[in-house]
Chains A and B, each alone.
Chain A
Amino acid sequence: DAGVIQSPRHEVTEMGQEVTLRCKPISGHDYLFWYRQTMMRGLELLIYFNNNVPIDDSGMPEDRFSAKMPNASFSTLKIQPSEPRDSAVYFCASKSQETNYGYTFGSGTRLTVV
């Protein structure tokens, strides 16, 4: 199993540009989570999906952020327009509902908005 795959690993973009982060969860996992990590705020949950349906998006900072999960093997997190304060590491994680604890994280995408 390749684990949770995120792309790109690093992204540098200019303020105002659209940014799309991608995630492929582990096959068979029912849940997918998007987290953001910053020095100031730590690890925050942005949104999570169950069977491709968004369940809780209360952590999404504002309308500039959107997330989709068109099928069980792919999710995107889009920021449009991007701002310097969006600079962070964005993690995707997935989990099967068959276990209580099997949250697997991807390697993260380090986003820098200049």
Chain B
Amino acid sequence: AQKITQTQPGMFVQEKEAVTLDCTYDTSDQSYGLFWYKQPSSGEMIFLIYQGSYDEQNATEGRYSLNFQKARKSANLVISASQLGDSAMYFCAMRERQSNTGKLIFGQGTTLQVKP
């Protein structure tokens, strides 16, 4: 069964607008962690933001915020004021058992293109 689902293979956004990248997950654990990574065309994996399942507030990091809806098992990434440099592949990932280190399971990714 797919643990992490990203239903948008590709997205377009106009520069300076906000965009939401969808991510839903499946786990029976009560304790888990959710991640978003950015992979530009150069290929490196860049960590963007983290949300713990017990965190009461949505995580924010600069222009990135994570819209965490636990009951719906969704962890959407919101990028505000898009920039041309945001064009990249974005991956949602989950680690089960928040309190212990374990493997990250990745979604299939969403390609974002920012239009000037």
Interface residues of A (CB under 8 A from B): 30-31, 33, 42-43, 45, 48, 50, 56, 89, 91, 93, 95, 97, 100-105, 107-108, 110
Pick the residue among A33, A42, A97, A100 that contacts B108 (CB under 8 A). Answer: A42
Closest to A100 in B: B33
* Shortest Cβ gap from B105 to chain A (Å): 7
Pick the residue among B44, B50, B108 that contacts A101 (CB under 8 A). Answer: B50
In the complex the two chains form, is A91's CB within 8 Å of B103's CB?
no
Query: A42-B109, A43-B91 are contacts. A103–B43 as well, Cβ < 8 Å?
Result: no
Interface residues of B (CB under 8 A from A): 33, 35, 37, 43-45, 47, 50, 52, 91, 98, 101, 103-109
In the complex the two chains form, is A33's CB within 8 Å of B103's CB?
yes
* Shortest Cβ gap from A30 to chain B (Å): 8
Query: A100-B52, A107-B44 are contacts. A45–B35 as well, Cβ < 8 Å?
Result: no
* Shortest Cβ gap from A96 to chain B (Å): 9
In the complex the two chains form, is B50's CB within 8 Å of A100's CB?
yes
In the complex the two chains form, is A103's CB within 8 Å of B52's CB?
no
Task: Enumerate chain A residues within 8 angstroms of B47, measured Cβ to Cβ.
Answer: 101-105
Closest to B37 in A: A105
A-B contact pairs, 12 of them (CB 8 A): A42-B107, A42-B108, A43-B106, A45-B103, A45-B104, A100-B52, A100-B98, A101-B35, A101-B47, A103-B35, A105-B37, A108-B44
